[in-house]
Amino acid sequence: MTAPTFTPRVFSGIQPSGGLHLGNYLGAIKRFVDMQNDGLSGQPIETIYCMVDLHAITVWQDPATLRRNTRELCAGFIASGIDPEKSVLINQSQVPEHAQLAWIFNCVARMGWMQRMTQWKDKAGKNTQNSSLGLFAYPALMAADILIYHATHVPVGEDQKQHLELTRDIAAKFNNDFGVDFFPMTEPVIEGAATRVMSLRDGTKKMSKSDTSDASRINMTDDADTIAKKIRKAKTDPEPLPETLEGLEGRPEARNLVNIYAALSDISAEAAMAQVGGQQFGQFKPMLADLAVAKLSPISAEMARLMEQPDEIDAILSRGAERAREISAPILRDVYEIVGMVR
Ligand code: TYM
């Protein structure tokens, strides 16, 4: 039997748990916009982007805050350049097929696979007995998000790599268990200069919304002054920037700022070094701050404007859900058929 060819399709998601930051923007959202506009190897590609509210509630969320954060994330997507006419924009809970396929995958995935997930270990910490069952099953829902659309490409930051490997394992086990070639082997797309943006206070730690220091990250809602101040105060070492990329070895803070500069300028880290290599931080940081303000403050201003029109956001999301279900409902029907459910 020849393997089926799957129509190229992009899917990715972000948790609406508040605190969208520069890492999410450069590692994910900006790449989503690029894939929407440029396609894949020059070919146009269908793009579906999701606010994963069902994932967010694997840890406690205040209901009113979750609702606000979901709308704010949608505003962030649109303000960054995602066009709801070109891409399908959804919140996960409005497309019930995600959760329905996740149940099937809970029965395909093995406990041992889940126990190996570093994100589970990090998030549950020592308190596994008191973590939600949903937090443990999180990666099976993520696999369902992707595979309910037969998505072939998933742009993400580096921290999601292990979850995407698990998605392939689940797809392969399902195909094998039922003797079908039904789910594609999804390709992670982890590319660009900023697949892992680091904390501005410690270049060995990932930039994250859960860091207790607000100075460690640039929030997408920060105003121009705050952005500039955080970059001016970012930790560095006393040496000027080296002339070449190799010279950044062992200098995580310098490397992180160069990566941010490259990603914001839409150039490679090598090309960035050709521009800024040899500079003192006293010269480089103000330039980086100006660049960050120029790129990010129009986004935060547009987010604030969109947030004044929640009805419009809700209408975009319900239209997105309708379009998404045109793809997901027939795939779920086929899954139930394969698994042997009487319909
Ligand atoms: P989440 O919400 O933690 O992060 C959203 C996206 O931002 C990327 N990211 C970063 N990239 C670079 N540097 C950083 N410091 C940084 N921090 C976060 C993440 O890699 C991610 O791409 N499990 C996912 C959400 C999800 C999903 C999916 C993703 C649910 N279903 C299906 C893809 C496909 C998550 O928690 O991402």
At 169-226, the pLDDT tens digits run 999 999 999 999 999 999 999 999 999 999 999 999 999 999 999 999 999 999 999 9
Q: Name the percent of the chain lying above pLDDT 90.
A: 97
Q: Write out the H or E segment, with its range, that includes residue 324.
A: helix 310-339
Identify whether 97 is part of a domain.
Answer: yes
End-to-end CA distance of the chain: 27
Q: Are 320 and 84 in contact (CB under 8 A)?
A: yes
Identify whether 177 is part of a domain.
Answer: yes
Residues 157, 38 share a domain: yes
Q: For residue 19, give both structure tokens.
A: 């605190």
> Relative to the CA of 160, which ligand 1 atom is closest?
20
CA distance 217 to 206: 10
CA of 12 to the centre of ligand 1 (A): 8
| pLDDT band at residue 303 under the 50/70/90 scheme | very high
CA of 51 to the centre of ligand 1 (A): 11
CA of 185 to the centre of ligand 1 (A): 19
Average pLDDT, the chain: 96
Residues 290, 316 share a domain: no
Q: Domain containing 273 — which CATH number?
A: 1.10.240.10
Identify whether 251 is part of a domain.
Answer: yes
pLDDT of residue 125: 87
pLDDT of residue 50: 98
Q: Which of 80, 156, 186, 219 to mutate to test the pocket of ligand 1 (most atoms within 8 A of CB)?
A: 156
Phi/psi at 331 (nearest 5 deg)? -70, -40
CA distance 196 to 259: 9
Identify whether 70 is part of a domain.
Answer: yes
- Calculate the CA dihedral of residues 333, 335, 338, 341 and round it to 10 degrees: -60
Identify whether 104 is part of a domain.
Answer: yes
> Relative to the CA of 159, which ligand 1 atom is closest?
20
Residues 333, 273 share a domain: no
DSSP string, 73-141: HHHHHHHHT--TTTSEEEEGGGSTHHHHHHHHHHTTS-HHHHHT-HHHHHHHTT-GGGS-HHHHHHHHH
The CA distances from residue 161 to 23, 77, 200, 299, in Å, are 15, 22, 23, 27
- The pTM (predicted TM-score) of the whole model is 0.97
Identify whether 24 is part of a domain.
Answer: yes
Identify whether 208 is part of a domain.
Answer: no
pLDDT of residue 226: 96
Q: Domain containing 97 — which CATH number?
A: 3.40.50.620
Ligand 1 contact, 192 CB (< 6 A): no
Domain extent for 286: 214-305
Residues 174, 218 share a domain: no
Sorted by sequence, the CB contacts under 8 Å of residue 109 that are 6+ apart come out as: 139, 140, 143, 166, 169, 170, 173
Identify whether 169 is part of a domain.
Answer: yes
Residues 71, 57 share a domain: yes
Q: Name the percent of the chain lying above pLDDT 70.
A: 99
> Relative to the CA of 207, which ligand 1 atom is closest?
15
Cα angle 254, 255, 258 (rounded to 5 degrees) comes to 90
Q: Which of 14, 59, 166, 218 to mutate to test the pocket of ligand 1 (most atoms within 8 A of CB)?
A: 14
Q: Whose CA is nearest to atom 26 of ligand 1?
A: 13
Residues 24, 56 share a domain: yes
CA of 158 to the centre of ligand 1 (A): 8
The CA distances from residue 165 to 116, 162, 168, 170, 336, in Å, are 12, 5, 5, 9, 24
Ligand 1 contact, 196 CB (< 6 A): yes
Ligand 1 contact, 73 CB (< 6 A): no
> Relative to the CA of 163, which ligand 1 atom is closest?
23
Q: Whose CA is nearest to atom 7 of ligand 1?
A: 24
CA distance 194 to 264: 9
DSSP secondary structure letter of residue 27: I
Ligand 1 contact, 27 CB (< 6 A): yes
Cα angle 44, 312, 35 (rounded to 5 degrees) comes to 20
Residues 291, 245 share a domain: yes
The string of pLDDT tens digits covering residues 60-102 is 999 999 999 999 999 999 999 999 999 999 999 999 999 999 9
Torsion sign across C-alpha atoms 329, 334, 340, 343: positive
> Relative to the CA of 157, which ligand 1 atom is closest?
20
Residues 167, 57 share a domain: yes
CA of 13 to the centre of ligand 1 (A): 7
Residues 128, 97 share a domain: yes
The set of catalytic residues is 123, 206, 209
> Relative to the CA of 55, which ligand 1 atom is closest?
30
Residues 85, 147 share a domain: yes
CA of 281 to the centre of ligand 1 (A): 30
Ligand 1 contact, 159 CB (< 6 A): yes
CA distance 259 to 2: 42
Asked if the model's pLDDT at residue 2 lies above 60, the reply is no
Residues 183, 56 share a domain: yes
The string of pLDDT tens digits covering residues 265-292 is 999 999 999 999 999 999 999 999 999 9
Q: Count up the domains in the chain and report the number.
A: 2
Q: Which of 10, 11, 24 to mutate to test the pocket of ligand 1 (most atoms within 8 A of CB)?
A: 24
CA of 336 to the centre of ligand 1 (A): 29
Residues 261, 174 share a domain: no
- SS3 annotation, 139-202: HHHHHHHHHCCCCCEEECCHHHHHHHHHHHHHHHHHHHHHCCCCCCCCEEECCCCCCCCECCCC
Residues in the chain: 343
